[in-house]
Structure 1
């Protein structure tokens, strides 16, 4: 049965369709005959008890440079839609959080994917702290003294913002580095919240594995290998996607996380693993599904729609 689907996302004209997971999900929805309505977060508003979005009917095609067509501009009552896809990228700031509060007013009568309350309660670098035994040694702090003591213990650490994304503002402070004080001072100036400091894992040179789960079940994985001279492996900053398989340890991590993801209504998630360690759980706008399919893995967009259709 065709569904009435709304997609809340970043401006569609700016996306790179070659690796964009939202675009793959939209292509699959259109293939299944679902009606697509598109809007951006600033065009979401509450009028009394009605949650309204100003947007357009959307058509998509897998063609670089002419990948979308917008028609029928209008204001839509989102409560009359069957599904809303919550798919804008971070930053996970108050603007993002506000959209989750607004969308929570129509969920679950209108299915919002992922569950907006659970997205709000599961920032990438906060939710993962529920599984400290799976992580490398980690602290969350604003204190220079804490960072210095942790670095003295670990020898080599990674400093990163708590609500960052895409590999932005991630720094390695190696054993002989003399910039600890200035970097912490910079973070204290730029960010109001605490930041995360983790033991540096040398396994990252062989890749940072992105593992995708759909409704709590393993769906596919890619290995993201950092470029020469770079600590970060994110595709946004030049990392290269490689095909991969799960290790026994990674299967154990998926088995631990899967039931909790399903319980929370986090239908589409991406987890990051370096060596034997879980580092992040991505619930806002995970990527990687196009690369998995390109390497001969599962059609994860199809698995996502199978799961959505089973819930509507």
Structure 2
């Protein structure tokens, strides 16, 4: 197969934990041909969507941190000539990201197979998407109105506030009823009432970990990566210093995954990361879910292999 990955700069990728690298390594082990491009390499030209791509050769053994690959010369290749194009650009989900999804969606109409579906990526804000499944979520408020947020805080006493376009735990605040900084926090997060944010009741089970459950073709991997906050912190995100511990899915985890997975798969979301704290769904990650390498290292379960299996099956079904 001929696979293209839309990524951040290769020299910025942390290969010891990056899920895109795990997928590329697995695909290369099966003799699939790899190409890479950045977001800015996607262009509309001559009535089709083209990627200015580089063929990628993974080095074995890896020579050093930034010498794990060789790149070929840039080639202009229409996206429909690949067996699959995997959109793995990390957030922020800004206007440039939206423009990329428009280009990828047009390539899809020309016959390209894009993972994940660009329209579904646009339609599933990673915070707001949970509202489709109210039976699984904690008490949640989405608003830009300070009075409503203050009333929500008064009701629940201890809440978490977060922007709708953040990642890695950035700008996430835990606020208590007696917090003297609530006004300035709300001013900053809502930009004085001009930006919508999310408020959720604080979940004490965060101390046991913010579980990342990976869904592949609608089915959950059997293990979750529980990201536990470091001392003095309430965010479990690895980017915020959380410690990742792998555990088997609980009955509740499976209930959530088995309910949501098939529906998202039908929408073209082949790879999804659910965030679950205790028994509650808190986010649905559809841009570039990670956690594959941590699960593989701690359990031996090859999540990247599960992903490439699903990718091969979908490609063959299209032929």
TM-score (norm. length: structure 1): 0.96
CA 1:168/1:190 → structure 2, altered by over 3 Å: closer, same or farther? farther
Whether contact under 8 Å (1:162, 1:193) holds in the other structure is: no
Q: Secondary structure at the match of 1:164?
A: coil
- Deviation of the 1:79 alpha carbon: 1.8
- Deviation of the 1:188 alpha carbon: 2.3
Counterpart mapping for 1:111-122 below 5 A: 111-122=113-124
Residue 45 (structure 2) pairs with residue 47 (structure 1):
yes
Alpha-carbon distance in 1 for matches of 2:193, 2:290 = 25
CA 1:257/1:61 → structure 2, altered by over 3 Å: closer, same or farther? farther
Could you say which residue in structure 1 is the equivalent of 2:215?
213
Alpha-carbon distance in 1 for matches of 2:108, 2:45 = 17
- Deviation of the 1:190 alpha carbon: 8.3
Residue 184 (structure 2) pairs with residue 186 (structure 1):
no
Alpha-carbon distance in 2 for matches of 1:172, 1:232 = 9
- Deviation of the 1:193 alpha carbon: 3.3
The correspondence for 2:267, drawn from 260, 264, 282, is: 264
Q: Which residues of structure 2 form unaligned runs of 5+?
A: none
Could you say which residue in structure 2 is the equivalent of 1:17?
15
Could you say which residue in structure 2 is the equivalent of 1:84?
85
Q: Secondary structure at the match of 2:190?
A: helix
Could you say which residue in structure 2 is the equivalent of 1:283?
286
Residue 28 (structure 2) pairs with residue 30 (structure 1):
yes
- Deviation of the 1:55 alpha carbon: 2.7
Residue 144 (structure 2) pairs with residue 136 (structure 1):
no
- How much is the aligned-residue C-alpha RMSD, in angstroms? 1.5
Alpha-carbon distance in 1 for matches of 2:83, 2:207 = 44
Could you say which residue in structure 2 is the equivalent of 1:123?
125
Q: Which residues of structure 1 form unaligned runs of 5+?
A: none
Residue 149 (structure 2) pairs with residue 147 (structure 1):
yes
Residue 6 (structure 2) pairs with residue 4 (structure 1):
no
Residue 69 (structure 2) pairs with residue 71 (structure 1):
no
Could you say which residue in structure 2 is the equivalent of 1:198?
200
Alpha-carbon distance in 2 for matches of 1:11, 1:123 = 24
> Number of paired residues?
310
1:141-166 residue CA offsets vs partner (Å, 9 max, x unmatched): 11110110000000000010001111
Alpha-carbon distance in 1 for matches of 2:148, 2:21 = 42
The correspondence for 2:252, drawn from 238, 246, 249, is: 249
List structure 1 runs of 4+ shifted beyond 3 angstroms: 61-64, 190-193
Alpha-carbon distance in 1 for matches of 2:171, 2:113 = 34
TM-score (norm. length: structure 2): 0.94
Counterpart mapping for 1:288-307 below 5 A: 288-307=291-310
Alpha-carbon distance in 1 for matches of 2:193, 2:125 = 16
Whether contact under 8 Å (2:80, 2:113) holds in the other structure is: no
